[in-house]
Amino acid sequence: MFVLDYKSRLPIYEQLYRSMTRMAAMGAMEPGEALPSVRALAQELGVNPNTVQKAYQMLERDGIIFFGAGKGFFPGGG
């Protein structure tokens, strides 16, 4: 799903942010379909949950995803 370069000078959260932004622009993220939880994605990628949380916060700030209280993160502006 996401390709991360652990040797890159670009922080992991920024790589994740850019990757998800590209996916949203290409229509690869289905509206209404929940994104992986912070913990699940962190475990899948082998990174700290705080890294994923930071990327999700940036995506939410920019209107690429939104948080549904008690339901998780979703693509789109809510």
Query: What is the DSSP annotation of 34-77?
Result: PPPPHHHHHHHHTS-HHHHHHHHHHHHHTTSEEEETTTEEEES-
pLDDT number for residue 43: 96
Q: Could you give the CA distance from residue 2 to residue 12 in angstroms, rounded to a whole number?
A: 11
Q: For the residues 20-29, what does the mean pLDDT come to?
A: 88
pLDDT number for residue 27: 85
Q: Could you give the CA distance from residue 40 to residue 26 in angstroms, rounded to a whole number?
A: 23
Residues 6+ apart with CB under 8 A from 74: 31, 32, 33, 34, 35, 65, 66, 67, 68
Q: Is the pLDDT of residue 19 over 80?
A: yes
Q: For the residues 51-55, what does the mean pLDDT come to?
A: 97
- What is the model's pTM? 0.89
Split at pLDDT 50, 70, 90, the class of 71 is confident
